[in-house]
Copies of this chain bind each other. A is one copy, B any other.
């Protein structure tokens, strides 16, 4: 494994794009992997592809449509659900464990010694497989599974959104991330719809950071 080569789990959102810039600063080689599943995938994938292309990075897009087989109604009816547009927004447990299993296997194939994921325990999502204890255990499990020495790096684990914006700024990428990433549940890139929970979290963090930095009031026109 090449310890100077990183594979970034990449959705095209604020967090994983910040991780991408972090990786570009720290490692000699960077590749991206995006997991495609569920209803919102088309727009998210477009955003992710655009960012990958703009930075000339190899971008692996893995179709995870089979996750729908684990949704409760698929199990109840004992048949797969339509993958395109038909998947209801049902809870699939351990989704991040499944994604990191695939990311680890991909890292093995491309000889990347480092896997980077933007999960955060501070802005706790409610998913236990985004917590630090899980990541440490997952890392050990992946290493034992392949007899290798991968490192799963989580640069955002203990950062809140304000601190993630500060990191983006330190990397010189605050404006790029603000304008080009997609976090909004309504599918509005950039500052987003401004009212969904994802926008509220993202924009409150940005506002707090900009206030601290001395640019008060920048978000007075969200969505601009």
Taking Cβ atoms with an 8 Å cutoff, the residues of A that contact B are: 60, 62-66, 69-70, 72, 75, 78, 80, 92-98, 101-102, 104-106, 108-110, 128-129, 131, 133-134, 137-138, 140-142, 144-147
A147 to B125 CA separation, bound complex (whole angstroms): 14
Q: How close is A156's CB to chain B, nearest CB, in angstroms?
A: 19
Known A64-B66, A134-B144; contact A102-B109, beta-carbon cutoff 8 A: no
Using Cβ atoms and an 8 Å threshold, which residues of chain B touch A80?
A: 63
25 A-B pairs with CB atoms under 8 Å apart are A60-B78, A62-B66, A62-B69, A62-B70, A63-B66, A65-B66, A70-B105, A70-B109, A75-B109, A75-B110, A93-B105, A93-B146, A94-B101, A94-B145, A97-B101, A97-B142, A98-B98, A98-B105, A101-B101, A128-B144, A128-B146, A128-B147, A134-B144, A138-B145, A141-B141
A191 to B65 CA separation, bound complex (whole angstroms): 38
A110 to B78 CA separation, bound complex (whole angstroms): 12
Q: Is the CB of A108 within 8 A of B93?
A: yes
Using Cβ atoms and an 8 Å threshold, which residues of chain B touch A129?
A: 144-146
Closest to A91 in B: B109
